[in-house]
Amino acid sequence: MKNKVKFGTSGIRGLVSDMTDKVCYAYTLSFLHYLQSIDAIQVGQAVGVGGDLRKSTPRIMNAVAAAVVDAGYTVVNCGLLPTPAIALYGIAHKIATVMVTGSHIPEDRNGIKFNKPDGEVLKDDEQGILAQNPVLNDALFDGKESLLASDYLPAVNTTAEQQYIARYLDFFPENAWQA
């Protein structure tokens, strides 16, 4: 993939203007093909998709979901939530997850973090992802690399958020806040 969006410390990062729908779709498709090549996922399984509160996140989540659907997987829309929440959800349910987040970088940028069913994508995995040569469905995009449809995300499934909150609340006994 020849573009300005690259793997950074954790996941891919780039200017929002460079993270076109087609670029995000291609990276996600490569991630899914890589996981399939190492027998970490099977076609038809669920893939969790979540995002942060940046203005560009819903568009990028839709592009990620388009790749998930086009590759033959089922999208679980985890909604807008913290990055650790979707990682916990993926590990608990043994599914791959994708988190659209810019984390601490400026608002004019964003990123995508990929998680295998057993945890975060590591540096060794990045080479495997980049080695994939996915066939892109060009019919999904206009001349500006934008998706023609914006409805790839199903309704939000709040299970990931609920599990994340419960993980912390369940740590304390019921009477922890009593004087």
Please tell me what DSSP assigns to residue 141: B
Determine which helix (DSSP H) or strand (DSSP E) holds 58, and give its type and residue range: helix 57-70
Residue 169 tokens, joined: 């609340």
Sorted by sequence, the CB contacts under 8 Å of residue 135 that are 6+ apart come out as: none
Antiparallel, parallel or unpaired: β 74-80 and 46-51: parallel
Residue 54 near residue 93, CB atoms below 8 Å: no
Comparing CA positions, the residue from 160, 153, 168 lying closest to residue 77 is 153
Rounded Cα distance, 34 and 11, in Å: 15
Please tell me whether residue 28 adopts helix, strand or coil conformation.
helix
Distance in angstroms (rounded) separating the CA atoms of residues 21 and 84? 24
Catalytic residue among 37, 103, 146, 150: 103
Would you call 56 a catalytic residue per the annotation? no
Catalytic residues: 103
